[in-house]
Amino acid sequence: MHNPFEPLAFRAMVTPDYPAFYDGQSTLNYAQLHKTVVQVSEKLAGAGIGSGHRVYLLLPENLAFIATMALFHRAAVSCLGIQGAEIPEQPGFDFVISLQPESEIAGIRNIALSQEWFNEARNMPGLEPMQDYSSAEDICRIILTSGTTGKPKAVGLTPAMIEQRLYRNHLVWGSATGHDLNLMGHSSIGGFMGSLQTIQAGKVVLLPASAEAFAKAIRTFYVTSILSSSTALFRLVNSNALSAADLNGVREIRLAGSALSPGMIRRIKQVCPQARIFNVYGSTEVGAVGMVQVTRPELVWKTAIVQPGASAEVIDDQGSPVPDGTEGIVRIRSSGMVSGYMKGSPDNNEFRDGWFYPGDRGVFRDGALCLTGRESEVVNLGGVKINPVDIETVAEQMPTLTDVAACQVERADNSEKLALAYTAESTIPVSEIAEFLKARLDATLVPTEYFQLKEIPRNAMGKVKRQELSRNLSAVLRGSGS
């Protein structure tokens, strides 16, 4: 495959009348989606976009998907940004496509999409043939990733990489009856690859923008599986728009991007009692690495069984593999992985000797890779190294807490302490939480500072923004003078 547009063209010929796209307002079959995408491509050509141009998208999910497929049709390079975030100077973009009327955004030519623009696109012939990338090794998609560091890095995907990753995903997940509901945004690798896999399988890409629209999509289409971060799914299942009946047909839930908690598994099983729940592990740089079925809440410590086409090792500080049961540094690799970040990304050494080092620590137990935390997030208090995940794992077991995150904070007297941030449906006395932790943790792991928040700060994949949390809580302590 030299162009990720090819599966859409194939489906438009083979199953033209099958539903292909739904955004809560419009439903397009494969023939209609194909024509719409080609018309948008022809309209973009009139604005000067051609093969190899790098285009930054500042669009909602439904329009971003259409624009991405149109840019593939033109053999251009797309990158979906996050609303409100600045456009990175590197890797360098030739155009911006947005809903903003300005002629330039950050000095880059802006193509402003409007109702008039789309009306003009609908008058295009929609007959122009797909342009191929000159090579399957040309970059066709840029994914911006920063994990929990906040420093954007650009990952360039080629048609060959995308094809290899899709093949590996199909080996694992197959093509079960029913449709997939993808709650991971297209700016993430999970959302992007999920929609391409949906097109390959000839199913409908569901991109409703609200909980109410998602509920309508579930009722309208036979949704049997959900792909989501744990945070996004938690918000959906707790929304007033959904009832247990709406989710009764869901048979498979794939959670990716962040660690799971027993409380989350219990909540999912309440509203989706028939669903098998899987924890999925991977990265933007490598793609999917593996998954494991979580049959009981207390088994969330298992992260993944490594899947065919991928490898994972746990090594010591000298780079040698350690025996099963020994904690160490995690490194991963796969067919379809990138060999490094694009030019202009922050200097790093995450790629070494054909492996990618995601910054995770872990251990192999019973054939499963089990993550134990992040190397960069280990807290050092008075020479004692503390993994905040060890605290969170215990705090998550308290039924009254809905979300938790531990971090290091600085008080007004410049002393450094352990803190626990948490969310709950009602006010919880701090003494109850402290006593719960004291009964189950070593004294060195019990936080001294507690903060009940409306929401734990997490990135798009559900990972705790621990540095941001630490800064915000430290500011509260310094401001209060405590």
Q: Provide the pLDDT confidence category of residue 175 given band limits of 50, 70 and 90.
A: low
Contact 190, 141 (CB under 8 A): no
**Alpha carbons 118 and 113: distance in angstroms, whole number:** 7
Closest CA to 48 of 79, 65, 69, 71: 71
Type and span of the H or E element at 364: strand 360-365
3-state SS class at 253: strand
**pLDDT at res. 88:** 85
Q: Kindly tell me if the per-residue pLDDT of 482 is higher than 50.
A: no
Residues 66-107 have pLDDT tens digits of: 999 999 999 999 999 976 678 888 889 999 999 988 788 888
Side chain identity, residue 30: Y
**pLDDT at res. 478:** 86
| Domain 157-374, second-level architecture | 3-Layer(aba) Sandwich (3.40)
Closest CA to 272 of 203, 181, 176: 181
Contact 286, 269 (CB under 8 A): no
β-pairing, 54-58 vs 77-80, is parallel
Q: Kindly tell me if the per-residue pLDDT of 268 is higher than 90.
A: no
**Alpha carbons 146 and 283: distance in angstroms, whole number:** 11
Residues 272-300 have pLDDT tens digits of: 888 999 999 999 999 999 999 999 888 88
Concatenating the DSSP letter of every residue in 214-247 gives: HHHHHHHTTEEEEEE-HHHHHHHHTSTT--TTTT
**pLDDT at res. 143:** 95
Alpha helix segments (H runs only) across 1-49: 6-14, 30-46
- DSSP-assigned letter for residue 132: P
Q: Kindly tell me if the per-residue pLDDT of 140 is higher than 80.
A: yes
Of 24-33, 262-271, 301-310, 424-433, the range with the lowest mean pLDDT is 262-271
Identify the residue with better confidence: 146 or 116.
116
Type and span of the H or E element at 430: helix 430-438
Q: Kindly tell me if the per-residue pLDDT of 229 is higher than 90.
A: no
Q: Kindly tell me if the per-residue pLDDT of 481 is higher than 50.
A: no
CATH topology of domain 378-480: GMP Synthetase; Chain A, domain 3 (3.30.300)
Q: Provide the pLDDT confidence category of residue 211 given band limits of 50, 70 and 90.
A: confident
**pLDDT at res. 137:** 95
Task: Quote the mean pLDDT of the chain.
Answer: 90
Contact 211, 236 (CB under 8 A): yes
CB atoms within 10 A of CB 220: 16
Phi/psi zone of residue 257: left (φ > 0), alpha (ψ -120 to 50 degrees), beta? Answer: left
| Domain 1-9+18-134, second-level architecture | 3-Layer(aba) Sandwich (3.40)
Closest CA to 256 of 337, 184, 205: 184
Strand-pairing partners, residue 206, are: 22
Contact 128, 303 (CB under 8 A): no
Strand order from edge to edge, sheet including 205-206: 27-29, 19-22, 205-206
β-pairing, 355-356 vs 360-365, is unpaired
β-pairing, 328-334 vs 305-306, is unpaired
Fold match, 1-9+18-134 / 378-480: no
Domain residue extents for the chain: 1-9+18-134, 157-374, 378-480
**pLDDT at res. 1:** 61
Q: What global pTM score does this model have?
A: 0.86
Contact 372, 365 (CB under 8 A): no
CB atoms within 10 A of CB 177: 8
Residues 369-401 have pLDDT tens digits of: 999 888 878 888 877 888 898 899 899 889 899
